[in-house]
Amino acid sequence: MPPLHRPGLNPDVAFRHNLEIVEHLDNLGYDEVWVGEHHSGGVELIDSPEVFIAAAAERTKFIKLGTGVTSLPYHHPLNVAQRLVQLDYQTRGRVMFGAGPGQLISDASMYGLESTQLRPRMHEALDVILRLLRGETVTEKSDWYTLDQARLHLLPYSDLDVVVTAAITPSGPTLAGKHGVGMVTLSATNPQTVDALEGQWNIAEQSAAAHGNTVSRDKWRLVGIVHLAPTMEDARRDVHYGFDEIFGYLRHIIPAAMPPETPTVDELIDLVNETGLGVIGTAEQAVPAIQRLVDMSGGFGAFLLQGGDFASHDATLRSYRIFAEHVIPKFTGLSDATLDSFQRFVKSETHVQQVQAGLTAAFEQHASNG
């Protein structure tokens, strides 16, 4: 998510790259991908996550596809629920629903909204959407939408995975607990956020208990910046492509979560690695960085890689492959049995002796027959 593109990149190429990346992740066995909704800025180009997901679903087989996130203040809640359910059928249960207030003030401004209106609208809309998804009939009037005996004529195909965004404030965890839904912690590798992770989850659990719900760590996602290459030198060279430009954009959106400007890209890379804000390097560096998040949080369900043009498209595809080959197995245990079998095999003197004995016997038999 979301993804982020270099300013000025051909939009046609950007969309093709995005779809190709989703196919690539599906082939590599990644579990899920999330795409955001943005309407300005020229960097996050997907205006409708639902339209993108519909296209990506036709190109993939297994990977789950989430709106990461739908900006609820800009949409009538009945429309959001209906589109989501339609996607649930079209993807046969692979769609996920992420809800947020909208991140870009420039987006809100174009809709004639003040930033102070966004979060209250999101809370109102989410409550209605969840009721509709449960099959309830909703009659409700607010200052921005009206529902009169509204009811979905299609109920969800699957048990929809629903998440809300969280940052440093308690708002996200409180909302997740209130509704008993999942949570995506943005900029989770930011040092301030890392220190607050355990507290975030405690807030979610307390809120859930207060509303008669439960929350599961399996539905908690953390987002971080990772770019991998065979060597540290390769990784540094890769991100000279777009690292500085992307960070320049992010400083305008989430200044508190971003490092200060640096004179050179290499100094920015060093700062990101040294502070733990991200990993620009090798798989060997990524594993302990993610393990630190596991330890600091007490455990979570998924680590999401921040998508963006930090490196060229080819280098980005390679990074995802390296992560799948060498990082994911460290946390899923998928390679444990093969590694154990290999170690027992190479350490067994008996196997070597038996092979040698078999060869010797074959030569001796051949000699005796001659």
- Report if residue 191 sits inside a domain: yes
Distance CA 295, CA 276 (A): 14
CB–CB of 244/236 below 8 Å? no
Q: In this structure, is residue 6 part of a structural domain?
A: no
pTM value? 0.93
Angle subtended at Cα 63 by Cα 57 and Cα 69, rounded to the nearest 5 degrees: 75
Same domain? For 261 and 177 the reply is yes
Q: Which domain holds residue 351?
A: 345-370
Is there a single domain that holds both residue 307 and residue 354? no
Same domain for 336 and 360: no
* Distance between CA atoms of residues 21 and 5, nearest Å: 13
Shared domain check, 363 and 297: no
Asked whether residue 356 falls in the same domain as residue 305, the answer is no
Contact 253, 104 (CB under 8 A): yes
Q: For residue 5, tell me if it sits in a domain.
A: no
Cβ proximity of 172 and 101 under 8 Å: no
Question: 305 with 319, same domain?
Answer: yes
Q: What is the CATH number of the domain that holds 334?
A: 3.20.20.30
Residue indicated by tokens 């509303």? 211
> Per the domain annotation, does 36 fall within a domain?
yes
Distance CA(108)–CA(71), nearest Å, equals 10
Same domain, 222 and 244: yes
Measured in residues, the chain has a length of: 370
The total domain count for the chain is: 2
Inside any domain, residue 105:
yes
Q: What pLDDT was estimated at residue 353?
A: 77
Residues 149 and 233 in one domain: yes
Within this chain, do residues 82 and 144 fall inside the same structural domain, yes or no?
yes
Q: What pLDDT, on the 0 to 100 scale, is given for residue 370?
A: 62
Residues 254 and 297 placed together within one structural domain of the fold:
yes
Burial of 129 per CB tally in 10 Å (0-12, 13-18, 19+):
buried
Each as own residue / partner, the long-range contacts of residues 53-61 (CB below 8 Å, 24 or more positions apart, any chain) are: 53/87, 53/91, 53/95, 54/87, 54/90, 55/19, 56/19, 56/22, 56/23, 57/87, 57/90, 57/91, 57/94, 57/95, 59/19, 59/22, 59/23, 59/26, 60/22, 60/23, 60/26, 60/94, 61/26
Radius of gyration of the chain (CA): 24
Residue 304, token pair as written in the block = 């999401």
Q: What is the pLDDT of residues 137-170, one digit of tens each?
A: 999 999 999 999 999 999 999 999 999 999 888 9
pLDDT score for 138: 99
78-168-203-303 Cα dihedral, nearest 10 degrees: 80
Domain shared by 195 and 333, yes or no: yes
10-residue stretch averages of pLDDT, the chain, 370 residues long: 92 98 99 98 98 99 98 99 99 98 96 97 99 99 98 98 93 98 94 90 98 98 98 98 95 81 93 96 98 97 98 99 98 93 84 78 78
What is the DSSP track for 138-181?
EEEE-SS-EEEEE--SS--SS--EEEEEE-SSSHHHHHHHHHT-
Kindly state whether residue 85 falls inside one of the protein's structural domains: yes
Query: Is there a single domain that holds both residue 107 and residue 187?
Result: yes
